[in-house]
């Protein structure tokens, strides 16, 4: 088997949220190795400018390339919105983001083309979901709403807290009034609030998790490019490696609560050096 097929997938995010994407990759393509980088020292990305996000993302790609990754997943919605195109133009390995896979499924599965998107201020302000959905389904109505309090609530561990439900009701009110039939959870952290969102939006609204759709798209891409790992990573000592730009302790605690694997190996690196 070629060495390239055995190389890991690089996955990066502004911090811990992208672990929801890593988790889907682990579930759906368990034979693949992963090198995860969380930019915990410089988060949040959701309120930063395009230029800053592009600069950070370039550094991260340079770091991941030192780990010999064969493909990269931009797990952060905000970085996918602002930096993906630039990264793809500069790269000779495949790079995918989370926005297009999520938008594609929403455009396809929305019963009436009445689609809501929730995300960070950055993602919503870029209108990338709306533009992409309407390029696929021009008659679609797309309502976008930034929900900036969701990220800190999840990171506080308040996923099932009544406070989170109150906040969510307030944010989602407009989506209910507009009778959206499909809602994209357009931020890494939001799939972790799925049950609260489900309760508020009701059973009939299609909830789209871009992390899930991205893992499917990645699997297809690896096959097409003939770089999918055909062996089994379970025999290896360390199929999943984690790096962060701030102290690893908090990251480990959060990761332990959502990942099915042990991440005692998380290490801090100086990302500004790349
Ligand atoms: N990872 C970010 C996203 O998906 C959310 C957290 C942040 O703002 O950095 O947009």
pLDDT at 138: 98
Cβ–Cβ under 8 Å, residues 54 and 126: no
Cβ–Cβ under 8 Å, residues 116 and 182: yes
Give the chain's residues under pLDDT 70: 1-2, 233-236
Residue tagged active-site, from 60, 61, 146, 187: 187
**140: number of CA atoms within 13 Å, CB side?**
30
76 counts as catalytic: yes
Domains of the chain, residue spans: 2-97+212-273, 99-210
Q: 247-256 long-range CB contacts below 8 Å, 24 or more apart?
A: 247/40, 250/40, 251/15, 251/16, 251/38, 251/40, 254/16, 254/19, 254/155, 255/16, 255/19
- Which CATH fold would you assign to the domain 99-210? Rossmann fold (3.40.50)
pLDDT at 75: 98
pLDDT at 256: 86
pLDDT at 233: 65
Establish whether domains 2-97+212-273 and 99-210 are of one fold: yes
Between β-strands 34-38 and 9-13, what pairing exists: parallel, antiparallel or unpaired? parallel
**Domain 2-97+212-273 indexed as CATH 3.40.50.1860:** yes
pLDDT at 234: 59
Number of other CB atoms surrounding residue 112 within 10 Å: 12
pLDDT at 263: 74
Instruction: Name, in order, each residue with C-beta under 8 angstroms of 71's C-beta and a sequence gap of 6 or more.
Output: 9, 10, 93, 94, 95, 96, 218, 221, 222, 225, 227
In three-state secondary structure terms, 118 is strand
147 counts as catalytic: no
pTM: 0.95
Tell me the per-residue pLDDT of 138-158, one tens digit each, with 9 for 90 and over: 999 999 999 999 999 998 989
Q: Is the CB of 210 under 6 A from ligand 1?
A: no
Q: What is the DSSP letter of 8?
A: P
Query: How far, in Å, from the CA of 77 to the mean position of ligand 1?
Result: 6
pLDDT at 211: 97
Query: How far, in Å, from the CA of 186 to the mean position of ligand 1?
Result: 9
pLDDT at 253: 85
Largest Cα–Cα separation, the chain? 55
């Amino acid at each position: 088997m070629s060495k390239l097929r055995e190389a890991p997938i690089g996955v990066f995010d502004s911090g811990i949220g992208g672990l929801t994407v890593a988790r889907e990759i682990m579930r759906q393509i368990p034979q693949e190795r992963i090198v995860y980088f969380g930019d915990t020292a410089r988060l949040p990305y959701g309120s930063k400018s395009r230029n800053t996000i592009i600069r950070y993302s370039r550094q991260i790609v340079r770091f991941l390339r030192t780990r010999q990754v064969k493909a990269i997943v931009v797990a952060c919605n905000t970085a996918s919105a602002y930096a993906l195109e630039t990264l793809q133009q500069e790269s000779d390995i495949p790079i995918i983001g989370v926005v297009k896979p999520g938008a594609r499924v929403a455009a396809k599965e929305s019963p009436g083309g009445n689609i809501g998107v929730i995300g960070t201020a950055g993602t919503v302000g870029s209108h990338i979901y709306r533009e992409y959905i309407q390029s696929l389904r021009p008659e679609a109505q797309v309502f976008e709403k930034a929900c900036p309090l969701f990220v800190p609530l999840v990171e506080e561990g308040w996923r099932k807290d009544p406070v989170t439900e109150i906040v969510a009701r307030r944010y989602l009110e407009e989506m209910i009034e507009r009778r959206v039939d499909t809602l994209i959870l357009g931020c890494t952290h939001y799939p972790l609030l799925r049950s609260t969102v489900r309760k508020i939006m009701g059973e009939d609204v299609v909830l789209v998790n871009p992390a899930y759709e991205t893992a499917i798209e990645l699997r297809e891409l690896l096959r097409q490019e003939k770089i999918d790992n055909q062996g089994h990573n379970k025999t290896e000592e360390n199929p999943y490696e984690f790096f962060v730009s701030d102290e690893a302790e908090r990251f480990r605690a959060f990761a332990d609560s959502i990942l099915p694997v042990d991440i005692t190996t998380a290490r801090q690196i100086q990302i500004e050096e790349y």
